Amino acid sequence: MSAGLIFRAGQLLITQRLAGTHLAGLWEFPGGKREPGESFEDCLRRELHEELGVAVRVHEEIERITHSYPEKTVHLRFFRCTLAATNAEPRAIGCQAVAWVTPETLGNYAFPAADARLLEMLRTADLW
């Protein structure tokens, strides 16, 4: 799976998982599953267009995480991204909601356990 860390003006975009899905209602970094033969970067561009209606520039990989839940194991790659159009506004097309958060407000949102290491990194690293 490929996920985007979309930064804009000192804020980071997060999305809320749809009802009826694995870990419904929790917040996450937008992205999704790769299709056969697709690169992680192309997957991210496609997923963010489908889920949020925006085009992005995919930059460097920030982190790789493998996490095992009782029902499945997920392999995540997180990439720094920017919106291709500075005036673009992500919309909740494939998610319940979107939110722009700051380092101070990120902790107010509930995330899946798989994101714990990345959340700690975001609290301490100079990524913003």
Residue ranges of the domains in the chain? 2-124
- Asked whether the whole model's pTM tops 0.85, one would answer yes
What would be the CATH architecture of the domain defined by 2-124?
Answer: Alpha-Beta Complex (3.90)
Question: If you write DSSP's letter for every residue of 78-125 in order, what string do you get?
Answer: EEEEEESSTT-----SSSSEEEEE-TTTGGGS---GGGHHHHHHHHHS
Q: pLDDT of 65-84, one tens digit each?
A: 999 999 999 999 999 999 99
Q: What percent of the chain has a predicted confidence (pLDDT) above 90?
A: 91
The answer to whether the Cα torsion of 19, 21, 25, 31 is positive or negative is negative
pLDDT of residue 126: 85
